[in-house]
Structures are given as C-alpha cells and as structure tokens.
Amino acid sequence: MNETLGEIGKLALEAKKFAKMTAQEKAETLRAAADGLLADKERILEGNAVDLRRAKENGMAAGLQDRLLLSEERIAQMADGMRQVADLNDPIGEVIETLRRPNGLLIEKKRVPLGVVGIIYEARPNVTADAFALCFKTGNVVILKGGSDALHSNAAIVDSLRNTLKKRGIDENAVSLIMDTDRETTKEFMRMNGTLDVLIPRGSAGLIRSVVENATVPVIETGTGNCHIYVDASADLNMAVDLIENAKTQRVGVCNACESLVIHEKVAPKLLPMLYQCLKEHQVELRGDDAARALCPEMKGASEDDWGREYLDLILSVKTVANLQEAIDHINRYNSGHSEAIVTEDKANAQKFLDEVDAACVYVNASTRFTDGFEFGFGAEIGISTQKLHARGPMGLEALTSTKYVIYGNGQVRR
Amino acid sequence: MNETLGEIGKLALEAKKFAKMTAQEKAETLRAAADGLLADKERILEGNAVDLRRAKENGMAAGLQDRLLLSEERIAQMADGMRQVADLNDPIGEVIETLRRPNGLLIEKKRVPLGVVGIIYEARPNVTADAFALCFKTGNVVILKGGSDALHSNAAIVDSLRNTLKKRGIDENAVSLIMDTDRETTKEFMRMNGTLDVLIPRGSAGLIRSVVENATVPVIETGTGNCHIYVDASADLNMAVDLIENAKTQRVGVCNACESLVIHEKVAPKLLPMLYQCLKEHQVELRGDDAARALCPEMKGASEDDWGREYLDLILSVKTVANLQEAIDHINRYNSGHSEAIVTEDKANAQKFLDEVDAACVYVNASTRFTDGFEFGFGAEIGISTQKLHARGPMGLEALTSTKYVIYGNGQVRR
C-alpha cells in the first residue's frame, strides 16, 4: 500500500466494479470488516502508539491528542459504527422516478454510486473506518488522505479493512490510503479529475478553505457553523434561555453550537440578566454591542470581528436589533449557511425568518444542536453540507449517490 | 451597467431578495420581459449588427457567425422561449420531504433558489435571454459572462430585461452582464466564492475545461458527448442501422450525436456492409479497427486517438469486440459520461449494459439523440450534466434549485 498517487488512482478506477455486489453482500462485508478491526486491535493500537509518541514529541495540543488517541473501547465503537451502517437501507438501485414518453420510451431515474470518493481529513483515525463504511455501503471506492499525525493508526486500520476485502474475494482497492504526506501530493489529490468524482473535506475551516481553493474536482463543503439564535419581541423568555443554554453549552466545539445571539431590543432588558446569570454558571463569556452592554455592564464589548467568528469555545456574541428585518439582515450577512433559529410566539415572524434566512437548517423554537444526521433520523452522517449544490444540511447515505437515466426503447429514433 | 465585477457581485447579493415574489408574479414578469424584447428589437438588432461587423472583420468562421446572428424571427423565438418558461410549474417552495421526530420536531425539506448563478458562455446571444428566464423562474439572481464577440448584442438584451424589471419595481440587478472582456476578469468571476453559489459553463469542451481548471466556486460541467452505440450479437440489424443513422446524422454537431460504434464480431460481417451503404448516402466517413476494415476495405483506419474523440462532424469510429464485456470496458474507458446505447434482443445483455456502463443516460434499443430536457418532458433545459454531483443528464428547472431544512419546535433541546 505504498503506491504513488497515480497508481492508487488507477487501481481505484478498476476497483469500481466491486459495486456490482448485492446489498446483502455489502452489508455482510461491512460486518466482517467490523470483526476484522476487533481482531486486529493490537496492531491498530501499536500504530496509534507510534503516532501518539510523535505527537507528544511535537507538542500537539491536549485536545488534538485526545482526538488522535485510540483505545480498545474506541476501536469497539468504530466497529459498532460499521455494523450500524451495515444495517441501514441500501440506497443503490432505487428507482426514484419513472417517466413514460408519448413515443413509447420508458425512462427510469435510478440511484447509483458516485464512483470514486476522496476524503481528506485531519488526525482523527475514527474517520477512517467511518468513511470507508459509508462509501462501501453506497458502492463507492474511497481514497483516504488522513492527517499525517495519524498515519500509522490509519495505515493499520486500512490494512485491516483491505485484508477483510481480500479474504472475501473483493478488490481490496475499494479502499486505499495515501501514504505520502507532502503538500504536493495533497494538491495533486485535489486535482485528480477523471478519477475522483467528488472530494469531501472533513475537518477545520482551514482545511476546507484549502480544499475549496485548490481543488479542480467537485467538492462538497462541510462543517463551518457560525450559528445564531434570534430572540424575537414575542419570545417566551424562559424557553429562549433554555434553548440558548443548550445550543451554547451542551457541547462546545461542534459546528451546530450557537456562536451568536441576536436580541430584539424590547426583550433585551428582561432577557439579558436572566441569560447572564445562566451562562455565568457555564463559564460562558458574553461579548455584546453597546446596547447590550448598557443593560449588562459586566459584559465585554464585541468588535466587528466577533460577528463573523465561529468560536468553538465558551464565548457568545450578543447583538441587539430594533426589529425582525434587522435581525435577518444581520444573520444573512454573517452566518456560514449552517443553522439559524428564531425564538418567537408570533407565527408571521417565524415564517418570515424561516423564509428569508439563508441557511441549510432554519429553526423555530428549537436548539440549533439538532442539525445532525442521527437527530434527523438518517442513521448515518457524512457531514453537514453548508453549500447549496448536491446536498445541503446533514448528509446521509444518499449524499454519496448519484443518479442515472435508464431508457428502454424498441427502436425509437428522433425526428 | 458598467460596474466592476466587485460591484456587480455586491448588487447581485442584494438582489437575491427578489425571490420573495410569488410564482404568479415571476411568471407575469417573464411574459412582460418577452414583450419587452420584442419592443426593443431595433436596439437589439443594432447591437447585433455592430458585433457581426466586427466578427466579419476578424474573420469569424461562417458557422459561428450564424450562431451570433440575430433577426426579427430569432428575437421572436427568444421571446417565445421566455413565455414557455413562464408557463412551467414553479418548483420553488415545494416541500419534498416531511420528517416527524420522536421528540416532536417537524422537519420539512423545502425547495429554494440556489441564490446567485453565474453563466459563462460563448458568442450565442440567445443564451442570454434563455439563461435569464430559467434563473428568474427559479428565484435566482444571474450574472452573465457572454463571449466578447457578442458583447453589444448581449448588452442590448440585458438592458431590455433590466428595464422590464425596473418598470415593475423589481431589483434590476436580478440579471447583470459582465462587460469587461479581459481574461483577468473572467478568472476573477470563476473565483467569486461568497457571491456565486454555482457557475455553469455552456459551450465548447475547451470553455468547460477552462472553467473546471480555474474555478473555486462550485461548477456544473455540461455537454461533452462521446456517445457510443453498441450492436450486440442478438441485435435486430435493421433496427441497428436505423438507430445509428438517426444518432449520427439527424443532427451533427450536437452533444448527444453518436460518435463511435462498437460492434459484436458475429454481426459485423452482415451489419457493416448495410451500414456502409446507408451512411455513405449521408457522406459519413467511417474509421474502423483492423477487423472492421477487413470486412469493409473502403473504410479508413482508426487510430487510438479516434476512440476518445467527440467529432461533432460526419465521422464515425468503428470498433469490433468479441463479447459484451469487451464492449462495456471499451465504452467505460473512452466515453465522456453522456449517453450510451445498446442494440440487442437479449434481455440479460441489455440489463448488464445498463447496469455497468457508467454514463448519465444509458439506452436499450433507442437513439442517443433523446438525451434532451424537452425530449424527457422537462419543458426546459439548462444543459446536460456529465458530472455526478447535484444533477446528472438533462437538467430541468430543478437543477437550478437547492433545498433547505425548515424545523418547527416548541422548545426542544438536545440531551
């Protein structure tokens, strides 16, 4: 598995034939691959130990080390995740639409694999097994480019997966890992037109930006979330506090956490002290505009820079507005197209917000934290798309599929 | 309308608000814009005369001059096209899916505009009105970059469209034309992340390649078609000749025309003389492999280069194969993912071909010429997507839409 990128690409194209397997064969293979990971746990933990030792030597931050760390329990979780994907409905082959034309042509729109999917991610070895499971289930060959800090962990995991495939007589190149860690190879990977049907970056805003800027293959942007909650004049203020507390503090550092509040000036005098009290208990730092600070002088000031920030931290910016339109305009100016919520008892205001705020998910009276494939009932999640093409919002298995028109004729020619 | 690209982008983002209009208002506006084009025909013809004079001075090929030429009749056709789009169902606002979650959340997946669409095309002024109509109908702001040879024609058409919008109190920046013709501006246009939600190139393979290579915004690739017809051992040979004649000669120079034949060696001795006779009448030049030429010595030889060529001309390559698998492999190696057909009376072979050939449209016993939005019954066509993300095959209005999750709660928080 130390091929050049060109060789990996060539083998990936040949491996596309594996997708002829039945849904049942794919599910059984995923279960076998889960068993294989457990059987190979020693070797995986050894590889991970090498990565961790180097990470410590290089002074990697504690939080990142934790994401890199594997344990027996975490390997078991990876295997469980693969079994869950195995149990999901197989979307491939479904006929989505049937058209009958006056000339007798029967046209079926059928769900098919994308072909070859590239995934580029950071030093999180659990993504390796996860990405393979989702791609294999949808009949896609996957080429993985993980963070170099996780290279030995990833190599051990991918070896295990490929061994399972080989044992079952399946082309093991259905999954491959790019071992070269230099920047040139990464750039070349983003430009494998003719091989990659899509490239999905999973990770930080910086990684995603780099992919968007350098890739010539189609990309699905995921993940950046500067999510707002707007508290309307008619809001139930207790509900507002509950939703804000949940969206800010239930899990910090995730893309669907709330990063910014927008508050109608009529309710600010009552709401801000309640909020300040509640969030203080969670050590959340508030950064407000002048009007907010006038009502709550303990609050720090917000600068222009704060409105556009995805803190991923215990910080929340606070903007006051004179009306709903101002709130909508502020959100549309600064949001990242992820998840936005209004708290209101006014149906017309709710509808206006839902219609006019431009984001993948718009909520009335609920926490932004629900933007998640599992919470939506998809049973799996590839990521949260913040772009508008192909897939928007939480992506389930269908986001890894394309369609194909299959046309049945009996000699029709065009006149 | 001589703003810099940055200004055009800013105005386009503000103009997105026009999409709040009802379906009826949009349809009426399109009809008014069609009337406006007819009323402004003198000015449009004047602009076109300037473009044509320069084109002749610059020695533009006759075929390209014809595509550039406008006439009263052609302006009337443009107006008719706009009225037809006005009459189509409006896809915006449709609820595609409804999910009810155990926690009481109601999730609706709703069809919404993409936002700002960029169209980049060659010197074909009819695309200007057409692209505006499709984008306006779907609530999208459109920024047009037409070929510089059609600048005066396009400017007159866009002026007319903007005047109609202004008269009706609609933000005229819902459509704008980039007047700068230098390469730097074109490159900058392809990199307007944050403004453009998608960029669609309409035109030659060279234009599309340049966009794919240079763009950082999402792109929908359209149009290149190296389409094959495979004649199986069990084919009805009269049907095969009819289909090939139609797919090659009914209209040359279109992306869904047949460019390459693949013939089972068992039927080649009988089929080739029939074909040669038929296609000779249409002045089609055949270029075959050695086996084909042995049977039909008048045929020219095909080189490796021929298999991958989209001739867009009265030329057809001929490859003989020993079996279906060889045919599928050949097609998957050389095709451009557009349209591929099998002629066969064998159901199992048909199914294998339909399943395994990787293309937007796969046919059994029908001409590849049917790959077309109108032939599919979509009532409009933005282009034929040969990529797998977002839209594949003929694109109707839906290809110009995205979706948005709208979530109704009553205080739900995530635990």
Kindly report, residue by residue over A205-214, the tens digit of the pLDDT.
888 889 988 9
Chain-chain contact of A412 with B366 (C-beta, under 8 angstroms): yes
What SS3 state is found at A223?
coil
B333 interfaces chain A, CB cutoff of 8 Å: no
Instruction: Identify whether residues B154 and B101 lie together within a single domain.
Output: yes
Q: Which residues contact A264 (CB under 8 A, 6 or more apart)?
A: A230, A231, A232, A233, A235, A320, A321, A322, A323, A324, A327
- Residue B384: pLDDT band with limits 50, 70, 90: very high
Give domain status of residue A386, yes or no: no
Domain that holds residue B67: 5-222+395-407
Q: CA A108, CA A406: separation in Å to the nearest integer? A: 5
Nearest CA in chain B to A249: B414
- Any idea what the CATH number is for the domain that residue A253 is in? 3.40.309.10
Give domain status of residue B388, yes or no: no
Instruction: Identify whether residues B235 and B217 lie together within a single domain.
Output: no
A209 interfaces chain B, CB cutoff of 8 Å: no
- What is the percent of chain B where pLDDT is above 70? 100
For residue B223, pLDDT beyond 80: no
The chain-wide mean pLDDT, for chain A, equals: 95
In angstroms, what is the C-alpha Rg of chain A?
24
Instruction: Identify whether residues A150 and A245 lie together within a single domain.
Output: no
- Residue B40: pLDDT band with limits 50, 70, 90: very high
Give domain status of residue B113, yes or no: yes
Mean pLDDT of A113-131: 94
Give domain status of residue B162, yes or no: yes
For position B206, what pLDDT does the model report?
A: 86
DSSP state letters, B320-364? EESSHHHHHHHHHHH--SSEEEEE-S-HHHHHHHHHHS-SSEEEE
Instruction: Identify whether residues B211 and B252 lie together within a single domain.
Output: no
- Any idea what the CATH number is for the domain that residue B123 is in? 3.40.605.10
For position A346, what pLDDT does the model report?
A: 98
Instruction: Identify whether residues A190 and A255 lie together within a single domain.
Output: no
pTM as predicted: 0.91
B224 interfaces chain A, CB cutoff of 8 Å: no
Give domain status of residue A384, yes or no: no
Structure tokens that stand for B402 in this block:
């995205």
Task: Return the bridge partners of A246, or none.
Answer: none
Q: CA B55, CA B190: separation in Å to the nearest integer? A: 26
Give domain status of residue A254, yes or no: yes
The chain-wide mean pLDDT, for chain B, equals: 95
Instruction: Identify whether residues A40 and A168 lie together within a single domain.
Output: yes
> From the DSSP assignment, how many helices (H) and strands (E) are in chain A?
15, 16
How many structural domains compose chain B? 2
Instruction: Identify whether residues B259 and B302 lie together within a single domain.
Output: yes
Instruction: Identify whether residues A14 and A63 lie together within a single domain.
Output: yes
A364 interfaces chain B, CB cutoff of 8 Å: yes
Q: CA A340, CA A330: separation in Å to the nearest integer? A: 12
Q: CA B159, CA A292: separation in Å to the nearest integer? A: 46
For residue B397, pLDDT beyond 60: yes
- Residue A253: pLDDT band with limits 50, 70, 90: confident
Find out whether A163 and A58 touch, Cβ atoms under 8 Å: no
For residue B37, pLDDT beyond 60: yes
- Residue A2: pLDDT band with limits 50, 70, 90: low
Instruction: Identify whether residues B248 and B289 lie together within a single domain.
Output: yes
Find out whether B225 and B383 touch, Cβ atoms under 8 Å: no
B20 interfaces chain A, CB cutoff of 8 Å: yes
For residue A3, pLDDT beyond 80: no
ipTM at complex level? 0.92
Instruction: Identify whether residues A64 and A170 lie together within a single domain.
Output: yes
Question: Which residues, numbered 36 to 75 in chain A, qualify as contacts with chain B under a Cβ-Cβ cut-off of 8 Å?
Answer: none
For position A295, what pLDDT does the model report?
A: 95
- Residue A198: pLDDT band with limits 50, 70, 90: very high
Kindly report, residue by residue over B51-76, the tens digit of the pLDDT.
999 999 999 988 889 889 999 999 99
Chain-chain contact of A411 with B236 (C-beta, under 8 angstroms): yes
Question: Which residues, numbered 68 to 107 in chain A, qualify as contacts with chain B under a Cβ-Cβ cut-off of 8 Å?
Answer: 99, 101, 105, 107
Instruction: Identify whether residues A270 and A123 lie together within a single domain.
Output: no
A302-316, B37-51, B176-190: which is most confident:
B37-51
Task: Return the bridge partners of B156, or none.
Answer: none
E strand spans, B38-115: 95-100, 106-113
Instruction: Identify whether residues A108 and A214 lie together within a single domain.
Output: yes
Q: Which of B40-69 are b and which e, b meaning 16 or more Cβ less than 10 Å from the residue's Cβ?
A: bbeebbebbeebbeebeeeebeeeebebbe
For position B2, what pLDDT does the model report?
A: 58
Which of A193, A414, A415 should one mutate to test binding to chain B, selecting the residue with the greatest count of B CBs within 10 A?
A414
- Residue B204: pLDDT band with limits 50, 70, 90: confident
Give domain status of residue B26, yes or no: yes
Chain-chain contact of A404 with B389 (C-beta, under 8 angstroms): no
Which of A141, A249, A390, A404 should one mutate to test binding to chain B, selecting the residue with the greatest count of B CBs within 10 A?
A404
Q: Which residues contact A94 (CB under 8 A, 6 or more apart)?
A: A110, A111
Kindly report, residue by residue over B164-187, the tens digit of the pLDDT.
999 999 999 999 999 998 889 999
For position A12, what pLDDT does the model report?
A: 97
Label residue A234 exposed, middle or buried (CB < 10 Å: 0-12, 13-18, 19+): middle
